[in-house]
Amino acid sequence: MEKQNPKDTVNEAASAIQDAARKPMAAADRIARQAGETLKSAADRLRAHAPESGMAGEVADIVTSGVKHAATRLQEEGFGGMVEDVVAIARRYPVQTLLLGLGCGYLLSRRRRS
């Protein structure tokens, strides 16, 4: 009976884990691209129904521009890019991230009691 090298066993396990992680990430990226398309069409509808001039028109331009930019990034980078952005923000603002997490946890616990 041939004894398997522990390094080979670890490499096989790592490969199996990576293969298992690829499917959900591919599905998440597909969903992110679809969400990007939906955001773009929503921005187009908002712009079509918003006033052309005045302060409301300027605000509509800014909002639709921001939504379209976010949708494009979502389509290009997918779910992985979103996760990287959230991690970067959490690293840049650790205290605020902790407080936000605590606040969300508190609100969720209050909602469960109701």
pLDDT digit string (tens) for 22-60? Answer: 677 777 778 888 888 888 888 888 888 888 888 888 888
pLDDT at 111 (0 to 100)? 86
* pLDDT over 60 at 66, yes or no: yes
pLDDT at 98 (0 to 100)? 94
pTM confidence score: 0.53
Cα-based distances in Å from 7 to 13, 16, 37, 42, 79: 10, 14, 45, 51, 32
